[in-house]
Structure 1
Amino acid sequence: MRQGKTGIIQRFYQKGLARYWARSARAASTTELPALRKQRLRARKLRQHLNTLISISEGRLALPLVGSTAFFRPHGTDWYWRPALWREPLAQVGMSSAPNREMLGEEVTLFHDCRVSELTLRQLRNTREADLAPYGLRMDVFRFDGSFLSLVIDLPFEAVDGLKRNHLIRLDSIVELEKPLEIFARLNIKHGPNTEQIVRELPLNEEEIMVEFDLAYSKLNEKRVEKAWIDLIFEGPEMNQVTLRDVTFSRRPRAEF
Structure 2
Amino acid sequence: MAGRKPGPIDRMVQRGALRAWTRRAEAASDTPLDELKRQRSDARRLKWQLETLLHTAENRLALPAIGNQSFPRPHDADWAWRPEAWTGPLPVRGIASVQSASGLGREATLFHDCPASELTLRQVRNTREADLAPFGLRLDVFRFQGSYLSLAVELPEAAARGLTRRHLLRLDTIVEMEKPLEIFVRLNVKHGPNVEQIVRELPLGDEDVRVEFDLAYTKLNEKRVEKLWLDIIFEGPQMNQVVLRDLTFSRRPRAEL
TM normalised by structure 2 equals 0.95
> Per-residue deviation at 1:14?
2.3
> Per-residue deviation at 1:56?
1.4
| CA distance in 2: counterparts of 1:40 and 1:11, whole angstroms | 24
Report matched runs for 1:78-157 at 5 Å: 78-157=78-157
Report matched runs for 1:56-71 at 5 Å: 56-71=56-71
The residue that corresponds to 2:158 in the other structure is: 158
1:189/1:5 CA distance change after superposition, 3 Å: closer
> Per-residue deviation at 1:29?
2.6
Report matched runs for 1:218-237 at 5 Å: 218-237=218-237
Give 2:146's aligned amino acid. G
Q: Indicate the SS of the match to 2:29.
A: coil
Moved more, 21-30 or 133-142: 21-30
| CA distance in 1: counterparts of 2:136 and 2:166, whole angstroms | 32
Q: Indicate the SS of the match to 2:187.
A: strand
1:13/1:212 CA distance change after superposition, 3 Å: same
1:6/1:189 CA distance change after superposition, 3 Å: closer
Give 2:168's aligned amino acid. L
> Per-residue deviation at 1:189?
0.4
The residue that corresponds to 2:29 in the other structure is: 29
> Per-residue deviation at 1:183?
0.6
Runs of 4+ in 1 over 2 A off after TM superposition: 3-16
> Per-residue deviation at 1:7?
4.4
Q: What's the CA shift string for 1:103-161, capped at 9, x where partnerless?
A: 11001111111111000111110000111000011110001111110000110010010
TM normalised by structure 1 equals 0.95
Equivalent residues, number: 255
| CA distance in 2: counterparts of 1:6 and 1:57, whole angstroms | 17
Percent of residue pairs bearing the same amino acid type? 64
Q: What's the CA shift string for 1:33-59, capped at 9, x where partnerless?
A: 221121122112211221121011111
Gaps of 5+ in 1: none
| CA distance in 2: counterparts of 1:127 and 1:13, whole angstroms | 35
Gaps of 5+ in 2: none
The residue that corresponds to 1:249 in the other structure is: 249
| CA distance in 1: counterparts of 2:233 and 2:160, whole angstroms | 22
